[in-house]
Amino acid sequence: MAIGASDFRRLERSNRRRSAALIILFALLVTGLGLCLDLMLGNLAWQEDGEIVGFPTLSLAALIIASVQAAISYYGGSSLILAAMHARPLEADSPKNLMALDVVREMAIAARVPTPKVYVIDDPAPNAFATGRDPAHAAICLTQGLIDTMDREQLQGVVGHEMAHIRNYDTRLMTMVAVMVGAVALLADFLHRWIWFGGFGRNNSERKDAAGGGFAPALVVIVGILSPLISRLIAMAISRQREYLADAASVEFTRNPRGLLRALEQIAAQSSPLKHAFRATAHLFIVNPMTDNDSEDGEGIFDRLFSTHPPLKERIARLRAMLGESGSSVAVRANPTSIST
């Protein structure tokens, strides 16, 4: 499955368009929350003739906040994510760590990108992610469990996968997604608390009348519920297709499908969710860090819609097809009690 330079340039242009669309959608979501609050607090009021009067103070403030948040996610989102995951720079203080650093340099040369900074998460779960706004400001983060349990061939496959995200600018898009999803979730949480702890109390009857009776409260509830849901669905849809492409690009860099294949099979056979995993950053990782196995292998439409990653068994099957093999040597266990993200 060869991927040419023209394909990556096309993907980079696509990612830039998606980044711009994501910023616009994020601004609309946050501004919509501000507009609902303006209606509830009486900053805006419906007139009998249908005209809206007043000044949208909170909507304007929300738009400013959205713009600042977009800038932060672009320039500082990578640092925020690494800090949230308790990542630290990887030191060459053991043979395994030294091997990991060597593999990152090898894969950077193969991908023709600057060598990214390398971080480690002190967690036994085997996992990895890449972040950064462009190849010159990128970082790869590996868990200690991945470094300790993978051999060189497997590590090359995993690092090649993450290097693909750096090369095709997935890291920019997914870093912005992670920070923005988290921001929308925080705003929605604030709105929910405001609703249930006095926002629609008896003292607000005049405000509700000015805002159009029961319309504004209903609108606030709907927007508050749908905003985080929409942002998560966007993050999941963006993530799923990019995992397949990164798998293929890893094979291009390593010239060896078996390395990534063996790594994914080993991960699938283990039962170890990441200790400090967050829903907002789950789509960054090579496999879902929120579950104790690849429980996103459901075949139903809702299983696919609400999964951050494509089914692991399908990724394994594609890699086996590159080797002229069929099936998978690992039965990926479905766990109905796992948390779907």
pLDDT in tens, 206-232: 555 544 555 556 666 676 677 777 777
When pLDDT is averaged across residues 196-210 and rounded to a whole number, the result is 53
Q: What is the pLDDT of residue 216?
A: 56
Distance CA 288, CA 330 (A): 17
Check if the beta carbon of residue 142 is closer than 8 Å to that of residue 118: yes
Average pLDDT, the chain: 77
Q: Are 164 and 154 in contact (CB under 8 A)?
A: no
Residue 200 pLDDT grade (very low, low, confident, very high; cuts 50, 70, 90): low
135 pLDDT higher than 90: yes
Residue 43 lies in a domain: yes
Whether 32 is covered by a domain: the verdict is yes
User: Rounded distance, CA 165 to CA 44, Å?
Assistant: 45
**pLDDT band at residue 113 using 50, 70 and 90 as cut-offs:** very high
- Total tally of structural domains belonging to the chain: 1
Sheet holding 88-89, edge to edge: 88-89, 117-121, 138-143, 128-132
Does any domain span residue 232?
A: yes
Higher-pLDDT residue of 248, 163 = 163
Considering the domain boundaries, does residue 29 fall inside one?
yes
Q: Is 18 part of any domain?
A: yes
**Does 104 map to a domain?**
no
pLDDT at 339 over 70: no
For 83, the 3-state DSSP assignment is: helix
- Quote the pLDDT of residue 41: 72
Tell me whether residue 21 is in a domain. yes
Strand partners, 130: 140
Which tops the pLDDT comparison, 325 or 333? 325
* 128, 141 contact by CB (below 8 A): yes
Asked if the model's pLDDT at residue 271 lies above 90, the reply is no
Contact criterion met (CB below 8 Å) for 318 and 257? no
Domain around 66: 12-82+175-236
In a domain, 322, yes or no: no
Q: How many residues does the chain have?
A: 341
Query: Known catalytic residues?
Result: 162
Q: What is the pLDDT, as a whole number, of residue 214?
A: 53
Which residue type occupies 19? S
